[in-house]
Copies of this chain bind each other. A is one copy, B any other.
């Protein structure tokens, strides 16, 4: 059973890893993940999460408000996990990337992982090949249990 908190977490993960420019778009992405609600509910969720809609050079996008960002980070540190070819990108709260990268370095034993690089709020995990993605994700999930639920 998916709870409201699950949905809020999913929204946070989506917003932090993808460009979402309106609530209907967010609705679609949530539907894909099995959350079925209406726009009215999203409007309330967005208010509760203090998500703001910002103007960028090429359109609008929702963004986690920095203070809330910090609170979320306090809980898990990890906001979202995404991957492409042989790279995994983990978004964290500001300042948490180093801790997460360090955790992966020391707590994960996986030959598929060549190494990690941390910025301020982003961790890059470099794999030997795109084929080893599943293997690496399993290894990481073992060390950081709730990371799986954040995966896009």
Contact = CB atoms under 8 A, between A and B. Distances in A.
Tell me what chain A mostly uses at the interface: helix, strand, loop, or mixed.
Answer: mixed
A111 B139 CA distance: 27
Contacts of A151: none
Given A56-B143, A108-B56, A119 B118 contact: yes
A61 interface: yes
A53 interface: yes
Contact of A50 (B55, B111, B138, B143): B55
A119 B117 contact: yes
A18 to B, nearest CB: 6
A112 to B, nearest CB: 9
B129 A124 contact: no
A21 B86 CA distance: 24
A151 B111 CA distance: 16
A21 B138 CA distance: 18
A118 B117 CA distance: 7
Interface in A28-78: 46-47, 50, 52-61, 63, 65
Contact of A57 (B57, B87, B107, B122): B107
A103 to B, nearest CB: 10
